[in-house]
Structure 1
Amino acid sequence: MNNLLDASQTAARLPYGELARQVRALFADEAVQVPERLVQPLPGGGSLFVMPAFDARIAITKLITFTPANAGTARPAIQGDVVVFDVATGERLLVLDGPTVTARRTAAVSLLAAQQLAAVPQGPLLIVGAGAQGRAHLEAFAEGLPLQRVFVASRRVGSALSLVAHAKDLGLDATVVHDPNAVLPECPLVVTCTPADGVVLKSRPRDDVFIAAVGSFTPRMIELGPDLCRHCAAHGQVVVDTPEAQHEAGDLLQAGLEPAGFPTLRQIVLGEQAARGGPVLFKSCGWAGWDLAAARTAVRR
């Protein structure tokens, strides 16, 4: 059996609904352990990520590079692999395509958060950023929510048009917008998945909005205006993906908010913290546990 999977083979093993269910199951598994990830800065502005995790059956290590300078070129910004081992035998079970795992597991986590927290799950959905994460979030939300309409904003018009065409292929009404802030009041579902090198959303959102912000994962990266973040914290709820967000959630840190004071998605899913009304901001920074959930899904299939 071939255990070295390319991007399309990896995607075929990771349907979004099953991924979201595996993420939920991960929360209740006491055998799961996720050591702190290593993020090594590289010359030229890139980073090397080494992300291990394991449970009672499998162990994984994600090895990827993040190269922001590749944005807008033929090379992906994220490259690398996820290696999956059998804990009992030490055998290598699978090598999954790293960028595919990253895109699909991130979108599945956002989907689970939306299923738990979104007041108006049918949308319209505003996607800001039309790269791999934008495409994955479109597919995940279209599969797991009763979505009907999508707006797409991107600095690269060609990418926005391509994502709109994909949305129409999925049976959705889709439109390119040049200023995401102009349509923010119309959208109860929002995903920001940009390179996070500057604020892309800053206007006042709806009171029933659900925002999944996935682009930034360092203290210096930012997508959301500080006033928007503070508004969600004061009038609704901020939820972080994991406790590690206290070191990584640039949007919140630059707004003067303390991520450690907000509930995690695990606490919401397990009922340890109650969801509240008002605008909801879900800040996702990434975690090797999500890659472990993806490996579980791939092995099962």
Structure 2
Amino acid sequence: MSALLDAPATARLLPYPALVDELARLLTDPAVQVPARLVQPLPGGGSLFVMPALDGRTAITKLITFTPANAGTGRPAIQGDVVVFDTATGERRLVLDGPTVTARRTAAVSALAARWLAPRPDGPLLIVGAGAQGRSHLDAFAECLPLRDVRIASRSVASAQALCDHARALGLRAQVVTDPDAALAECPLAVTCTPASGHVLSAPVRDDAFIAAVGAFTPTMVELAPGLCRSVAERGSIWLDTADARHEAGDLLQAGLDLGGFPTLADYARERASHRGRAGPVLFKSCGWAGWDLAAARLAVSPKP
């Protein structure tokens, strides 16, 4: 019988350094197949996501709901499960907690992108948004990068302070900031992980900046001002987590950019040498992909020492 894992048990199977390495391996695995995800609108403004993926050994379906109206109610915005099957026997092996997989694999993808693309991976790091994704990104960057200093900005002062306290418990220098645009001038690393209901960064970015924008994952959602996106496109480079982001990345689409030529993490994994040494700021736009959930499932079912 397969195990139904809660959030803490799921997290224990997905340590960030190992998850980042598994994500990198998945990008060069020719057996990986990721059909298009189904996004079904729900009454009240929510969405049902059905996201399958498979390789030669493992098949998964992530079945989650995204309910923006839950913000501030005590109920999570993302709920659901990731069901993991053995492809040879059809046996259901695990049921992972969906929000935990989503938070950890999203943060691990950002950490992988920063490891590969950030001019200054030591930070300081600016995190805009102090919810579940803000915490997971803090943990992932702290474990996977040579990070020492973090600044936290949030609409909720209490949430920002709580995340700041967590950062200090990890041994980092940390402070709450009220003006993320001003903090951006001091931070070569930045992550935006907000509900994506409006611009949270609009100031010019440093030449050595790396920004991971993860909150907006539909064409109508946005976190970054159009001018910021266009400036990075002109002065540096824009990267996508996958090709699917070309029709999902609201920040870039609303900036009027042609997304067709922007490279993906898979492009980097296949052609690292040709992408090294690029000058200027880097914007990494992440919209999510069932392949990232498959990587998490592969790690979860792998033999443990």
Bucket of the pairwise TM-score, normalised by the shorter protein: over 0.9
Q: Which SS does the other structure have where 1:35 is aligned?
A: coil
Are the equivalent residues in 2 in contact too, given 1:11–1:101 (CA < 8 A)?
yes
Aligned partner of 2:280 in structure 1 is: 278
Tell me by how many angstroms 1:73 deviates: 2.3
Aligned partner of 1:297 in structure 2 is: 299
Letter in 2 for 1:28: T
> Equivalents in 1 of 2:222, 2:188: separation in Å?
21
Aligned partner of 2:132 in structure 1 is: 132
Letter in 2 for 1:201: L
Q: Which SS does the other structure have where 2:51 is aligned?
A: strand
Letter in 1 for 2:246: Q
Letter in 1 for 2:275: A
1:237-276 CA-partner distances (Å, limit 9, x unpaired): 0000000011100000000012221000111122265142
Letter in 1 for 2:25: A
Tell me by how many angstroms 1:2 deviates: 6.1
Aligned partner of 1:120 in structure 2 is: 120
Aligned partner of 1:48 in structure 2 is: 48
Letter in 1 for 2:34: V
Aligned partner of 2:175 in structure 1 is: 175
> Equivalents in 2 of 1:72, 1:297: separation in Å?
33
Are the equivalent residues in 2 in contact too, given 1:116–1:269 (CA < 8 A)?
no
RMSD: 1.0
Are the equivalent residues in 2 in contact too, given 1:245–1:260 (CA < 8 A)?
no
Are the equivalent residues in 2 in contact too, given 1:3–1:95 (CA < 8 A)?
yes
Letter in 1 for 2:117: L
Written as runs of structure 1 = structure 2, the 5 A alignment for 1:1-301 is: 3-271=3-271, 274-275=275-276, 276-300=278-302, 301=304
> Equivalents in 1 of 2:162, 2:301: separation in Å?
32
Aligned length, in residue pairs: 301
- The runs of 5 or more residues in structure 2 that have no matched partner are none
> Equivalents in 2 of 1:211, 1:143: separation in Å?
18
Taking every aligned residue pair, what percent have the same amino acid on both sides?
69
> Equivalents in 2 of 1:21, 1:79: separation in Å?
26
> Equivalents in 1 of 2:37, 2:258: separation in Å?
21
> Equivalents in 1 of 2:163, 2:73: separation in Å?
17
Tell me by how many angstroms 1:212 deviates: 0.2
Tell me by how many angstroms 1:27 deviates: 1.1
Are the equivalent residues in 2 in contact too, given 1:149–1:174 (CA < 8 A)?
yes
> Equivalents in 1 of 2:260, 2:64: separation in Å?
27
> Equivalents in 1 of 2:39, 2:184: separation in Å?
34
> Equivalents in 2 of 1:260, 1:176: separation in Å?
37
Given the two structures, how large is their TM-score scaled by the length of structure 1? 0.98
Are the equivalent residues in 2 in contact too, given 1:226–1:254 (CA < 8 A)?
yes
Q: Which SS does the other structure have where 1:83 is aligned?
A: strand
Tell me by how many angstroms 1:154 deviates: 0.5
> Equivalents in 1 of 2:105, 2:258: separation in Å?
26
1:52-102 CA-partner distances (Å, limit 9, x unpaired): 000000100000000011112211100000000000111000000000000
Q: Which SS does the other structure have where 2:4 is aligned?
A: coil
1:107-137 CA-partner distances (Å, limit 9, x unpaired): 0000000000111111000000001100000
> Equivalents in 1 of 2:169, 2:294: separation in Å?
31
Are the equivalent residues in 1 in contact too, given 2:193–2:214 (CA < 8 A)?
yes
- The runs of 5 or more residues in structure 1 that have no matched partner are none
